[in-house]
Structure 1
Amino acid sequence: MQKKALLRKQFKKLKVDGILITDPINVRYLTGFTGSSGFVIISEKHAIFVTDFRYQEQAEQEVKGFKIKIEHTERTREIKNICDVYGIRKPGFEDHHVTYGLYRELIKRKLKLRPVTNVIESLRIVKSAKELSCIKRAVKRAEAAFRKLQPFIRTGTTERKLALKFEELLKLEGCKTLPFGVIVASGEMSALPHAKPTDRKLKKGDLVVFDWGGEYEGYCSDMTRTMLLKGRNISRQKELYYNVLEARKRAVNSVKSGIEASVIDAAARDYIKQQGYGDYFGHGTGHGVGLAVHEKPVVSWRNKELIKENMVFTVEPGIYLPGFGGVRIEDMVAVRKNRAELLTSLPKKLKIIEG
């Protein structure tokens, strides 16, 4: 069923007779438009894509199945005019994206707005074959760049230099944009799950966490690997690594359609607790990946949402010891009926780097 038809099926439940889509990612999902200025209005029988004159030619090339309209007046007036022309009296709007200022101006124009939450996101959560193909291409680009980074990982170089080189390699692999800034975190900095690269030099015995993503046709990938620089006393670093690796394995093996997301989280979390590190794993086990690098489903102890076939998400347990260092291993999976299809292929065995 077409995306627009699936959306219209929800109108009655949402108590709307049309919907205004302004989130750029959701606009792209519905229309294929890759520009930075545009919105969508869908009624029971019509679908209108609106942009400004700068993107007219681009819209004509990219947007199919929508009436394309070029803005000729102030945006709230344009929205009101379209609603009047197509008989929309109770438009839904994306409450996570419309600003209070825009909402107030639309109310002034006598529109009976109704907030809707996660309507498009609920469609995006299950991937089509085409979307999955794009995600796999994004994974390949990211993995190729990481393999080419290996010769540059050595003692004496800085996190910042490695991150800059890594971003260069990702772009050379064809990534037009990066889903987020590359994370390179070494030594005690690796205990920060979202550390930013610094001028800290890599030292012997350091755990080094690399967290990065690739892109293909707007779709993202996201993965993490942890390496170890050879040193004299590295037994605890190894212990942390193999505990996280086992937690990751248990979580991946638990994936199948029909279970709650929290079951996958528990598979990793319970093992880490058993090893005595439960207090040092504070984030969820994973998150969805698609047009956004962080999207539904959330794989955490809080989420009782049922996992469905063709969802795509990360599995990324970690242990983070303040003042010492941390380990995270992150892979991407696609859900099949009774198993997880592993999308990432980089080795999981601990790599100990000489020199």
Structure 2
Amino acid sequence: MTATATSGCPVFAGRRDRLRAALAAMGHDALLVSHAANRFYLSGFELHDPQCNESAGYVVVTADGDDYLFTDARYRDAALRLWPEKNLCIYGAGRYAAIADFLKARGVTRLGFEPAGLSFDVHGRLSALLPLTPVALAVEPLRLRKDAAEIARMRRSAAINHGVMASLPDILLPGRTEAQAAWEIEKRFRELGASELAFAPIVAVDANAALPHAIPGETVIADGCLVLVDVGGRADDYCSDQTRTVWVGSKPPARFTEMLARVQAAQAAVLERIGPGMACREAYALAREVFAREGVAERFTHSLGHGIGLETHEGPSLNPSAESVLEPGMVVTVEPGLYYPEWGGARWEHMALITETGRDIL
């Protein structure tokens, strides 16, 4: 058997070959892939199953190129659309014994696993049947740089999000609660073509906007209030994430316009310089320097942004201690914010594709 992937379409097979090379460099014979986004990235199978106690299945990538998909009978027909039957294992109630027996029969005697993608309970059950070795962050580095097809999907996802943001004047109406506005936003995503939300929407009025991850509640939007909206959708499997902070109604007070201007200036300073070769912590520092000059740096309480793709939050992180360096093909959010618990906050967010020469706003 040559060390070439035998299962699935060429895109996914090519990704598994890249993983295979990485595993060989680390000295591992096989890897059990259980993280839902990683499983999908390598196989095209079942992205929407993040729960550790579900049984949508696992992909095993081996050193000799014979890769396997494990799932239960509910997913058999879907799996066969992507995977040859000889490399498919359908398990029942005794799934862990079935996995161990299947792999042992094919010469796998030691299995790597994703520590962040396997529960303590599952690890205990499977390791009693087959020796397991932790292999951290094997697939995630492969997902950092998006290929042309992924970028096209992310552009569509971002375009839908822009459409939702353009609808905010018709959604953030006085008399509506945060929760009601969040529901209107969710409907708008679906109307524009999103398959689902990428994460629970944030709609936060006045002081609630000082909570970076506020949960929409019964606070009512009024004439003369600020509203922070942080929302994202999923289209063609890929996520979007954007934030805007707006004033509803009458002329905004100076404290709001000054706060928002500072946030937008910090974002502009980053977007002017961000590009390949820049350290992620340097991007963060650019925003913080703007706030420091204005004497409000202590109000910037989170990272500048994060990678985005199949998941809303993935690598790299734009934080003050990040060691990663930006590379072409990475897509990151740039979302500086300022927060005042007494009366409100502001955040402004765009998605930036790192290109060979700079960046492109999605």
TM over 0.5: yes
Rounded Cα–Cα distance in structure 2 between residues aligned with 1:258 and 1:226: 31
Rounded Cα–Cα distance in structure 2 between residues aligned with 1:253 and 1:82: 54
Q: Which amino acid aligns with 2:19?
A: L
Is 1:206 matched up with 2:225? Answer: yes
Identical columns (%): 29
Change (3 A) 1:235 1:63: farther
Contact 2:339 2:346 in 1 (8 A): yes
> For residue 307 of structure 2, what is the aligned residue in structure 1?
288
Contact 1:218 1:291 in 2 (8 A): yes
Contact 1:141 1:215 in 2 (8 A): no
Contact 1:285 1:299 in 2 (8 A): yes
* Aligned partner (choices 63, 72, 93) of residue 44 of structure 1: 63
* Aligned partner (choices 102, 106, 112) of residue 131 of structure 2: 112
* Aligned partner (choices 153, 156, 169) of residue 188 of structure 2: 169
Q: Which amino acid aligns with 1:82?
A: F
* Residues 258-287 of structure 1: per-residue CA shift (max 9 Å, x gap): 121111111111111211111111100000
Contact 1:266 1:301 in 2 (8 A): yes
Residue 328 of structure 1 and its aligned partner are, at CA, apart by 0.2
After TM superposition, the score normalised by the length of structure 1 is 0.92
* Aligned partner (choices 279, 292, 295) of residue 273 of structure 1: 292
Q: Which moved more, 1:219-228 or 1:66-75?
A: 66-75
Provide runs of 4+ in structure 1 moved above 6 Å.
Answer: none
Rounded Cα–Cα distance in structure 2 between residues aligned with 1:222 and 1:63: 32
> For residue 243 of structure 1, what is the aligned residue in structure 2?
262
* Aligned partner (choices 100, 120, 123) of residue 100 of structure 1: 120
> For residue 213 of structure 2, what is the aligned residue in structure 1?
194
Change (3 A) 1:157 1:73: closer
Contact 1:285 1:315 in 2 (8 A): yes
Contact 2:23 2:138 in 1 (8 A): no
Residue 242 of structure 1 and its aligned partner are, at CA, apart by 0.5
* Aligned partner (choices 3, 9, 12) of residue 24 of structure 2: 12
* Aligned partner (choices 91, 100, 104) of residue 71 of structure 1: 91
What secondary structure is seen at the aligned counterpart in 2 of 1:88? coil
Q: Which amino acid aligns with 2:102?
A: I
Count of aligned positions: 342
Q: Which amino acid aligns with 1:187?
A: D
Gaps of 5+ in 1: 344-355
> For residue 203 of structure 2, what is the aligned residue in structure 1?
184
Contact 2:309 2:331 in 1 (8 A): yes
Q: Which amino acid aligns with 2:103?
A: C
> For residue 39 of structure 2, what is the aligned residue in structure 1?
27
* Aligned partner (choices 76, 94, 102) of residue 82 of structure 1: 102
Q: Which moved more, 1:11-20 or 1:86-95?
A: 11-20
Q: Which amino acid aligns with 2:37?
A: I
> For residue 351 of structure 1, what is the aligned residue in structure 2?
none
Residue 13 of structure 1 and its aligned partner are, at CA, apart by 3.7
> For residue 55 of structure 1, what is the aligned residue in structure 2?
75
Change (3 A) 1:219 1:273: same
Residue 119 of structure 1 and its aligned partner are, at CA, apart by 1.0
Residue 25 of structure 1 and its aligned partner are, at CA, apart by 1.2
Rounded Cα–Cα distance in structure 1 between residues aligned with 2:237 and 2:329: 18
Contact 2:89 2:102 in 1 (8 A): no
* Aligned partner (choices 318, 334, 350) of residue 299 of structure 1: 318
Rounded Cα–Cα distance in structure 2 between residues aligned with 1:119 and 1:233: 49
